[in-house]
Amino acid sequence: MSPFTGSARTTDAWQHIRVSRQDGIATVTLARPDRLNALTFEAYADLRDLLAELSRERSVRALVLGGEGRGFCSGGDVEEIIGATLAMDTGRLLDFNRMTGQVVRAIRECPFPVIAAVHGVAAGAGAVLALAADFRIADPSARFAFLFTKVGLSGGDMGAAYLLPRVVGLGHATRLLMLGEPVRAPEAERIGLLSELAEEGRADTAAQALAQRLATGPALALAQTKALLTAELDMPLGAAVEMDAATQALLMNSADYAEFHAAFTEKRPPKWQGK
């Protein structure tokens, strides 16, 4: 995402999500614990806009996405979203579904790693938000459920049919998206859906530790690695290695690359600048 801005101002306060920042780490919390952090139209919009703003600022080196209370996110709010969509015309429905997809694209395209810290349930849209993250860390009792077919909709919602087969393979993705049955964290780890299985009650702590490690790393190199992982999913090998070559040539001209050599020569840890 481009760092250049026009007349738009940075948002001072977010009404539908909780956001905190410290030492280059943004912690974004879905904060409707009485509704298992079910998403509303406004929460989707806030997530979309927040990720765009953080991407432009370039001050965030890692982002942790979590949920308050008993679970991560139970998906779209049945009363506030599903009920409302029944009264919408096709144009309005298309606007809504495009917005949810924009959130997933923003997670995949932002220039910093995103870590989902999952406890309790991650269902429906909540499961897709976790899926879109670069890392997924979960408590052993956490469970994922892609519930879209359970409500009479396609399992391929918000990019799930694109992302999930690339994470767990077509066979597992077919089962998860068609049947909508919950998958507990130990099985999720076995099929490759999880990056790390934490101790019970420690997913948030483990996610923050990983975020700290990433935030103190070479930000430009990490951003380009994330960009290549996303861009090369559908590329033939020839195009992919050419993109890799161009990216490495650019990074070899970066301050961080020179800093590594200086640190190696002086036998000290590198002081990454992210440029």
pLDDT at 175: 98
**With 90 as the cut, is the pLDDT of residue 140 above it?**
yes
Residue-wise pLDDT for 178-200, tens only, equals 999 999 999 999 999 999 999 99
- Measure Cα distances from 196 to 137, 138, 237 in Å: 5, 7, 29
Q: Average pLDDT, stretch 160-170?
A: 98
pLDDT band at 5 (very low <50, low <70, confident <90, very high): confident
pLDDT at 95: 97
**With 70 as the cut, is the pLDDT of residue 2 above it?**
no
pLDDT at 1: 61
If one counts every other C-beta atom within 10 angstroms of the C-beta of residue 185, the result is 25
**With 90 as the cut, is the pLDDT of residue 102 above it?**
yes
Separation of first and last alpha carbons in the chain: 16
The DSSP bridge pattern shows strands 121-123 and 196-197 to be unpaired
- DSSP letter, residue 10: P
- Copy the structure tokens of residue 196: 């790390």
Residue-wise pLDDT for 21-32, tens only, equals 999 999 999 999
pLDDT at 56: 92
- DSSP letter, residue 253: T
Average pLDDT along the chain: 95
Residue-wise pLDDT for 214-271, tens only, equals 999 999 999 999 999 999 999 999 999 999 999 999 999 999 999 999 999 999 999 9
**With 70 as the cut, is the pLDDT of residue 90 above it?**
yes
pLDDT at 163: 98
Q: How many helices (H) and strands (E) does the chain have?
A: 11, 9
pTM: 0.95
